[in-house]
Every structure is written in C-alpha cells, then in structure tokens.
Amino acid sequence: MTMVEKADLAEPNETELAAKIDAEQVRMERRRKIEAFLIPMTTVVSLLLIWQFGVRYFEVPMYIAPAPSDVGAALIKQFPLLLTNFWPTFYESVLGFFVGNLAAVCIAVAFVHNKTVQKAFFPIAVFINTIPILAVAPILILILGPGLSAKIVIVSLICFFPTLVNMVRGLQAVSPQALELARILSATKSEIFWKMRLPSSLPFLFSALKIAATTSVIGAIVGEWVGADVGLGALILDSSFNFRAALLYATVFMSSGLSVILFASVTIAERLIVRWHT
C-alpha cells in the first residue's frame, strides 16, 4: 500500500474523530447550561416547599410569616397596587443609577489625570461613603424636600463610591510599558485615554455597575422610607404598620425583582460592549 493510499485512509478517521470531539463538546456545553438552570431552580423550589410546610405544620400566624401560597395570592390580588408603587421606585433607581455612576466616572477620569485633585478629594469621597445612608437620607430630605430630587441624590450617593474606586483602578490598569511606548510614539493624552485607558477600565466599570444596579434599589427604598407616600419603600412601611404580612412579603419580592432586572440589564450591556473580555 502506497503512502498516498495510507493518507487517504487516515483522513476520514481524523475527520470522524474531530466530529466526535465537537459533538462531545456540544453535549457538555448543553449539559452545563441545563445544570446552571436546574440546580438553582431546584434549590429555590425546595426552599419554598420547606417554607410552605413549616408554616402550615407549626401553624405560624399569617401576620408573622405567611406561607408562599399566601404571598403568591397577594401578588396576584394586589398586583395593580404593587405595580402602581413599582414605577416610582423604578424611576428613582434608574435616574439615581445614571447620575451617580456618571459622576463617579467623570471624577475618576479627573483623578487619574491629575494626582493633586485625587489627593485633595479622594479622602472626602471616602469620608462621605463612611456615613450610613440612613443618616444622610433625613438630611437630604430636609434640604431638598420629599420630592424626586432627594431620592435621586440618595441613590446617587449609594452608587457613587464603588464605581469611583473601580473606575480609578481600571483606568490605572494599563501597563507602564504600554504607556511608555505610547509616549515614545507621541500619543496624546486623549489618544491614550480612548485607545488604552478606557478599554482597560470597562471590565472594572461593569463590575461596579452590577453592584450599583442592586444597591440603587436599596437607596430608592431608603429614600421612600424617610419621606414618601408612594413607592415600594412606602408600601413596605404601610404593610408592616398595618400587619399585612402577605402584602409586605409580596412588596419585598417585587423589590428583589427590580434589582434582578437592573442587574440583568447591566450584564447584557457588558456582554454587548466588552466582547474581548472573558
């Protein structure tokens, strides 16, 4: 048998082997996706069943701990009321999220390009972050009033510091060798920023935005606790004071759903924008 004939016989075997490897990889990837969905869903269902059984078995009063079935019934029955209070909290969270993170990004850029500004104002930012938001909220309500502006400022403050720290770190993540090469090639500060610093900072930025997406809802609810008659925070207070436990739990779940929506939105934006980062 000649070498050419041996090669012709070997080629289908290699092709078949490559096809088997690809098929196995596809099966493993499908299995990972199924497990990633089934494992958390099974855990959630199990916890709900334990909760339902525990409440019914120990005969816990509904005003203390309603069963999941009671909470689900309240979600369905009181959904118009929940939706009416959902939108104010949604607007406050989204507006404060954008304002706080935009301010953090702009100040981070100023810090990186001017060390004097960073030394002067970064300790102030740290000090403001150490003040509990529950202590700041009443002061802002007194200064700005119980309207939308105070809620936006509260949400902005709670989103500001994590984004500031991560953005500064990301902008400084460019290697010194790359910066030195850019200077040797006579790159301007603007070119270095747009071509090097900004792309390197995006993974850090989106990590902070994921945190801010969830904490923004907390800030909005805290602002509504201090001074508001609408919103999920106000509905939480009203439900707790009137011992409407099922509605209280339903409102908490609605707040968690809002956090999940904002977190998922940031995650989708990251996948669309930061394509090169694993």
pTM value is 0.82
User: In angstroms, rounded to a whole number, what is the distance separating the alpha carbons of residues 110 and 263?
Assistant: 27
Give yes or no: residues 147 and 267 share one domain.
yes
The 3-state DSSP class for residue 84 equals helix
Per the domain annotation, does 188 fall within a domain? yes
Structure-derived torsion over alpha carbons of residues 250, 232, 225, 228, reported in degrees to the nearest 10: -140
> Among 255, 16, 215, 229, which residue's Cα sits nearest to residue 129?
215
Give yes or no: residues 181 and 90 share one domain.
yes
User: What is the predicted pLDDT for the residue at 12?
Assistant: 53
Give yes or no: residues 24 and 84 share one domain.
no
Give yes or no: residues 52 and 83 share one domain.
no
User: In angstroms, rounded to a whole number, what is the distance separating the alpha carbons of residues 261 and 87?
Assistant: 13
Per the domain annotation, does 252 fall within a domain? yes
Q: Which amino acid appears at position 265 of this protein?
A: S
Give yes or no: residues 86 and 50 share one domain.
no
Task: Work out how many domains the chain is built from and give that number.
Answer: 2
User: What is the predicted pLDDT for the residue at 128?
Assistant: 84
Per the domain annotation, does 278 fall within a domain? no
Give yes or no: residues 52 and 76 share one domain.
no
Per the domain annotation, does 123 fall within a domain? yes
Give yes or no: residues 41 and 125 share one domain.
no
Give yes or no: residues 158 and 181 share one domain.
yes
For 102, counting Cβ atoms within 10 Å of its Cβ (0-12 exposed, 13-18 middle, 19+ buried), the class is: middle
Give yes or no: residues 91 and 53 share one domain.
no
Report the chain's terminal Cα–Cα distance, integer Å.
Answer: 49
Give yes or no: residues 139 and 247 share one domain.
yes
Give yes or no: residues 231 and 145 share one domain.
yes
Contacts (Cβ under 8 Å, ≥6 apart) of 70: 62, 246
Give the range of the structural domain holding residue 9, as residue numbers without chain letter. 1-59
User: In angstroms, rounded to a whole number, what is the distance separating the alpha carbons of residues 135 and 132?
Assistant: 5
Among the candidates 31, 59, 87, a domain finishes at 59
CATH of the domain at 228: 1.10.3720.10
Give yes or no: residues 113 and 88 share one domain.
yes
Per the domain annotation, does 116 fall within a domain? yes
Per the domain annotation, does 173 fall within a domain? yes
User: What is the predicted pLDDT for the residue at 190?
Assistant: 85
User: What is the predicted pLDDT for the residue at 262?
Assistant: 94
Q: To which residue do tokens 């000649």 refer?
A: 2
Among the candidates 9, 34, 59, a domain finishes at 59
Per the domain annotation, does 222 fall within a domain? yes
pLDDT along the chain (278 residues), means of 10: 50 68 79 81 88 86 86 90 93 95 94 88 87 87 87 93 92 84 82 87 93 93 87 91 90 93 94 76
Q: Are 210 and 263 in contact (CB under 8 A)?
A: yes
Per the domain annotation, does 149 fall within a domain? yes
The 3-state DSSP class for residue 175 equals coil
For 32, counting Cβ atoms within 10 Å of its Cβ (0-12 exposed, 13-18 middle, 19+ buried), the class is: exposed
User: In angstroms, rounded to a whole number, what is the distance separating the alpha carbons of residues 53 and 75?
Assistant: 20
User: What is the predicted pLDDT for the residue at 63?
Assistant: 80
